[in-house]
């Protein structure tokens, strides 16, 4: 490499984004999209992971970003300490200006390593409401201590920020809210073909209701949707429900659909890499989660121009203004969900009005260009705290 090229590269802010894996999860997709966006906008970006597995690895390769693996199967094994020391050395050698941990396990490995390496800006993340079984009191306490080593805790909703302040006693100025981003034009410009017969089951073109969510746990509300689908199909037979996603509970949900007599009305599509093309064929997007941070699926529905129904949990009320750009229903309430779906199926004017307003919301507040500006502020304004004082440093103020 020539001296001039080396100098040019060094003038760029050097950012190291760290994630557990490259599977098709919300945090993983946000990390990879941000890596690509930062790289296109004047940052020198490297991606690190604990498992070099998953379909998102292909996108990193396509844009020519460096991907480095620090394989850790369990943080309780001796190899975890070895990999952390490897990570410290790698961070020092590459003189990163920013280390940004993008999910739970990335926090636990990369934040201490970045602190030991003396990185000026260390960003940890909190992207959920600490609702999974992992968050035992002891583990949560350890995680919060590690997050206090960072110069900024990045959250994707005001609801998560409030929880960190009220329950975990974080200083408000330590936390920065940067919403998830989405490529609105990508979802809005996907080709709209005739309805796929695999979705419809016949030549008759039904209304299509879609839900995009992994099936690892029942927290996304698949059970409520299947109960609601039974009620909806009794009153409005011309509808199909498309379930995009996979996981350990898929067979259980398929059995529930069979028992309810919904074999012809509910289609399980599994993992898909053509979600944008599927969504643009649909009419209504649904996410009846019991707990959420700020879900990518709802953003994808709204960016695709779908009328959207979601539960009033976590950060969803921050994104959906009830009756203005979508509908909100209570969690764990299949009856209210069925009523909302039927309302949109029967009222074309309402469905189209909500869909249009939802897309406009995505364009004005959640497009990646907006998120990039917020990230620039975080990377510029965060300041490290003294190693001996965990509670005294101040960082970028939340949006």
pLDDT digits (tens, 9 = 90+) for 21-79: 999 888 999 999 999 999 999 999 999 999 998 889 999 999 999 999 999 999 889 99
pLDDT digits (tens, 9 = 90+) for 372-388: 999 999 998 655 443 33
**Mean pLDDT value across residues 311-331:** 96
CA distance 50 to 141: 23
Whether residues 278 and 339 fall in one domain: yes
Percent of all residues in the chain with a pLDDT value above 70, rounded to a whole number: 88
Contact 344, 326 (CB under 8 A): no
Whether residues 176 and 192 fall in one domain: no
Domain assignment of residue 26, yes or no: yes
Whether 278 shows a pLDDT value over 50: the answer reads yes
Whether residues 271 and 127 fall in one domain: no
CA distance 242 to 260: 16
Whether residues 265 and 336 fall in one domain: yes
Domain assignment of residue 75, yes or no: yes
Domain assignment of residue 391, yes or no: no
Q: How many CA atoms lie within 13 A of 223 on its CB side?
A: 10
The CATH number linked to 235 is 3.40.50.2000
Whether residues 96 and 130 fall in one domain: yes
Domain count, the chain: 2
Domain assignment of residue 342, yes or no: yes
Whether residues 133 and 248 fall in one domain: no
Whether 3 shows a pLDDT value over 70: the answer reads no
Domain assignment of residue 395, yes or no: no
How many Å separate Cα 129 from the centre of its chain? 13
Domain residue limits at 158? 7-181+369-381
Q: Which of 235, 243, 218 is nearest to 331 (CA)?
A: 218
């Amino acid at each position: 490499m020539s001296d001039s090229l080396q100098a040019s590269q060094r003038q760029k802010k050097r950012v190291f984004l760290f994630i557990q894996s490259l599977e098709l999860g919300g945090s993983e997709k946000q990390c990879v999209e941000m890596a690509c966006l930062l790289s296109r906008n004047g940052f020198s970006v490297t991606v690190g992971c604990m498992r070099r597995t998953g379909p998102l690895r292909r996108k990193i390769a396509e844009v020519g970003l460096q991907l480095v693996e620090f394989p850790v199967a369990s943080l309780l094994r001796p190899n975890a300490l070895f990999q952390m020391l490897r990570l410290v050395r790698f961070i020092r050698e590459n003189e990163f200006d920013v280390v940004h941990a993008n999910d739970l396990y990335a926090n636990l490995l990369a934040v201490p390593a970045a602190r030991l390496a003396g990185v000026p800006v260390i960003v940890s993340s909190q992207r959920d409401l600490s609702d999974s079984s992992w968050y035992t009191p002891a583990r949560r306490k350890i995680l919060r201590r590690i997050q206090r080593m960072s110069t900024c805790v990045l959250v994707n909703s005001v609801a998560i920020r409030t929880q960190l302040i009220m329950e975990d006693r974080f200083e408000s100025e330590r936390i920065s809210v940067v919403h998830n981003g989405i490529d609105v034009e990508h979802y809005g410009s996907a080709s709209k073909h005739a309805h796929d017969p695999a979705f419809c089951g016949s030549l008759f073109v039904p209304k299509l209701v879609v839900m995009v969510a992994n099936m690892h746990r029942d927290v996304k509300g698949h059970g409520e949707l299947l109960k609601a689908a039974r009620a909806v199909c009794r009153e409005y037979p011309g509808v199909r429900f498309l379930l995009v996603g996979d996981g350990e509970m898929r067979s259980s949900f398929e059995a529930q659909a069979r028992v309810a007599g919904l074999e012809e009305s509910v289609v399980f599509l599994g993992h898909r890499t053509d979600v944008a093309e599927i969504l643009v064929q649909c009419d209504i997007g649904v996410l009846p989660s019991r707990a959420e941070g700020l879900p990518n699926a709802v953003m994808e529905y709204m960016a695709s121009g779908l009328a959207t129904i979601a539960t009033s949990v976590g950060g969803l009320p921050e994104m959906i203004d009830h009756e203005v750009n979508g509908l909100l229903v209570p969690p764990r309430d299949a009856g209210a969900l069925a009523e909302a779906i039927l309302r949109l199926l029967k009222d074309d004017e309402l469905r189209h009005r909500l869909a249009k307003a939802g897309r406009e919301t995505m364009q004005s507040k959640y497009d990646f260009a907006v998120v990039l500006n917020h990230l620039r502020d975080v990377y510029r304004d965060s300041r490290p705290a003294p190693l001996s004082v965990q509670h005294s440093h101040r960082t970028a103020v939340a949006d």
